[in-house]
Amino acid sequence: MIYHVIYTAKTGEVLSQYMNYPDIPTCEERLKAFGATRWEIGIDLWSVPVDNMEIEKVLQQMLEVNAAVQVTRMDYEAKRAGIMATVQEQLDALALEYEPLIDTGRERLQALEAQAKEQVILRGQSAKVDGLAVTYVKGRTSWDTKALDGYAAAHPEIEKFKTEGNPSARVSWK
């Protein structure tokens, strides 16, 4: 249920659009309703509110929004490649000049960082100067949860010391 439009700033010319349901108002209709004009390059995505939707519908909508974003990304990459081709030779020459200097600086910075971390750990306290701090972090205590859960079955009095966080969800794109 997504209507997606990519347009230009100067002319308002529609560069690409994607709509999968005819009952959704067009970008033009919504801009007119709000009295708005196209004043910048933009992407217009509109979707049905997610309130009380079935999870499958929400997931389908996520896929549709992702598809619109991917179309936009492809348009951007194609135009960018055309622009970059005109200056690529200059950029390559600039990289040859500066990358060795930057790499040398990064290597020196990594060595100094390792040295600073080692000293902070040996001292057991943080160090800082204006603009930079190396923070001492005490070693983390961890427990074998599976073993303790087994122990708690025989000793339920330790359950009062247990806390469990809220569940969460992770999105996996395929």
State residue 11's pLDDT score: 54
Give the pLDDT means over successive 10-residue stretches in the chain (174 positions).
47 51 50 45 46 75 84 89 95 96 96 96 94 94 92 93 87 83
152 found inside a domain: no
153 found inside a domain: no
63 found inside a domain: yes
State residue 27's pLDDT score: 52
142 found inside a domain: no
Domain count, the chain: 1
Please choose, from the candidates 99, 100, 75, 96, the residue with its C-alpha nearest in 3D space to the C-alpha of residue 88: 96
Look at the pTM and tell me if it is higher than 0.75. no
What are the start-end ranges of the H helices in the chain? 27-34, 55-123, 145-154
CB-count burial class (<10 Å; 0-12, 13-18, 19+) for 83: exposed
The backbone torsions φ and ψ at residue 31, rounded to the nearest 5 degrees and listed phi first, read: -60, -45
State residue 134's pLDDT score: 95
53 found inside a domain: yes
Contact between residue 127 and residue 118 where contact means Cβ atoms under 8 Å apart: no
State residue 117's pLDDT score: 96
135 found inside a domain: no
84 found inside a domain: yes
Taking CA atoms, 80 is separated from 14, 74, 87, in Å, by: 18, 10, 11
State residue 5's pLDDT score: 52
12 found inside a domain: yes
Domain hosting residue 24, numbered range = 3-117
Give the C-alpha separation, 172 to 174, whole Å: 6
SS3 annotation, 67-99: HHHHHHHHHHHHHHHHHHHHHHHHHHHHHHHHH
State residue 90's pLDDT score: 96
